[in-house]
Amino acid sequence: MKIKNQNNNKVHGKIRYLFFALIGLILIRIIIQYFFYNNNQKKTKADEISYQLLFSPESASLSQNQDISTKVKIKATATTTIRGYYFKIYFDKNKLKLKNLNYRLGVVSRNLGNDTSTISQINEKGEIKIQGEVYDPSGLTLTNKETDVVDLVFTAQSVSGTAVSILSTNTKIYLVNQDWSITDKNMEAFNIFNINGGGPTMTPMPPRTIKPTCGPEAVETVTRSSTISSYCSSKLNKNCLSPNRWTTALICHHGPAVGSNSWTAFGSTCVQPYCDGCVCLTPNSVEPTLPPAVTKPIDTAISKLNLKLKLQGVTKMTNNQYKSTNIQVKLVDTGTNVLAGNETGTFIQQNDFLWSGSVNFSNLKVGSKYKLLIKGEKHLSKKICDTKPTETKEGGYNCINGNIGLQIGDNNLDLSGIYILAGDIKVNGAVQDGVINALDLGYIINNLRKKPTGNLVSADINYDGNIDTQDYALMIKSLAVKYDEN
């Protein structure tokens, strides 16, 4: 009997052990799932943070010459840390004039954003460029509550309806990551500011596409048929009756883009977006002819490139230690995409704040087309395809195929219509790595308010003799491009 009780106790003990072990495993699984789920939720929320720009108030009624105030606010869907922001405000300059502008979130990025000193230029364009920054390297905490960004005061020029707007696709907010690197994200323009019932928002129009025209008629898609007569009659829907006759097609555009000069005689086919022309001639007409092709010689003499450049952020005469800077110039043959030369020249600052210098190349093919790759000591490489490039905003110019023809001797190229973007610096004297990243940003942050001597010269991006938030703001702005162009 005693042995039987002992056996029963052993069985019951095993059952209790298995029961508690099972409960323990269930609890462990619940805990793991809880933390895993929460972590995933946090990551998901962080990835889904969005930012809204909104006007407050969003409507008003005005009489002529009356002033009205509004604010632009920002609202995040979750708490985050920012170092800067950028967006543009558009208004009808014929119906409104900006009277006052005051930054509430951080400060204006000097020489980058508009402020009260540029009100006359703002009212000429009907466009306000808002760019601000936070001085504190650790950034500023943004919550899910509305935060004032800028105060605006407008004066009504008429009583007709109009609107003030922000274009969502032209906005940036600069965020501080845990590793001190900076990333940017677009913001959403949540509403517009309607005045006297509202009206058209004066946002930029999309670019117009202009189709090429060539010859007396332009045909978008054509294929040469067996006879010129049937081809021209069918494509142009015109008759050319005897004794008149159709002549062969005059021209066909084989170039890569509208505006190319590469017009050649008509071949077997001529397809969109190229063009073809037909001419109906009388018996007494002289049939037009194209000039004969000319084979241009290859000349290996020296080609000297005299260049004029504009470096981003340099808006005044530089500190005495920066009267000259080294610029690397690469030359790439468009036809073969082969590097034709790589030279570095000394460029001197001129009184108009631009930089002038020269580099020499040999063994160039006269008649070939080239593109340039320009890189400064503190800058990203910029690809240039035109002899006089232009842009409407800093960093806006881009191209694919080079169209620069060079001759033996002097070649004067004014490239000052675009900016060479700053930001790729020599961290601690190392070589440039062709990208703006956390190393570049951290180097400036860690040396703010220091004098640019020795290796620190690289951190003084705008050449003013100081390492400050202006240099940091320039680098942030260039993050939209970030990499060398090649």
Cα–Cα separations (whole angstroms), residue 285 to 230, 239, 240, 363: 21, 17, 14, 47
Nearest Cα neighbor of 460 from 347, 311, 307, 328 is 311
Intervals of CATH 2.60.40.680 along the chain? 51-195
| Residues paired with 223 in a beta bridge | 269
DSSP designation for 137: T
pLDDT of residue 371: 92
pTM: 0.42
Inter-residue contact 469 to 460 (CB < 8 Å): no
Distance CA 391, CA 397 (A): 5
Q: Which regions of the chain are under pLDDT 70?
A: 1-22, 24-47, 137, 179-181, 199-301, 318-321
Inter-residue contact 191 to 89 (CB < 8 Å): no
Three-class DSSP category at 448: coil
Cis peptide, bond prior to residue 288, ω within 30 of zero: no
pLDDT of residue 466: 87
pLDDT of residue 243: 60
pLDDT of residue 97: 94
Distance CA 83, CA 448 (A): 15
pLDDT of residue 341: 87
Inter-residue contact 73 to 147 (CB < 8 Å): yes
pLDDT of residue 353: 78
pLDDT of residue 276: 45
Burial class of residue 422 in the structure, from the number of CB atoms within 10 Å of its CB (0-12 exposed, 13-18 middle, 19+ buried): buried
Cis peptide, bond prior to residue 273, ω within 30 of zero: yes
Return the residue matching tokens 């951080």: 106
Segment holding 86, helix H or strand E = strand 80-90
Inter-residue contact 456 to 465 (CB < 8 Å): no
The Cβ-side half-sphere exposure at 170, using a 13 Å CA radius, reads 18
Beta-strand relationship, 355-361 and 59-60: unpaired
Nearest Cα neighbor of 224 from 277, 178, 183, 182 is 277
Return the residue matching tokens 């952020």: 313
Nearest Cα neighbor of 455 from 428, 432, 424 is 428
CATH code assigned to 51-195? 2.60.40.680
Q: Which residues contact 454 (CB under 8 A, 6 or more apart)?
A: 429
Distance CA 355, CA 282 (A): 59
Three-class DSSP category at 249: coil
Burial class of residue 151 in the structure, from the number of CB atoms within 10 Å of its CB (0-12 exposed, 13-18 middle, 19+ buried): middle
Cis peptide, bond prior to residue 243, ω within 30 of zero: yes
Read off the tokens for 38.
């929460």
DSSP designation for 226: S
Distance CA 431, CA 428 (A): 9
Residue-wise burial string across 109-128, b where 16 or more C-beta atoms lie within 10 A, e elsewhere: bbebbbbeebbeebbeebbb
Distance CA 22, CA 19 (A): 5
pLDDT of residue 414: 93
Return the residue matching tokens 């962080």: 46
CA 132 to chain centroid: 18
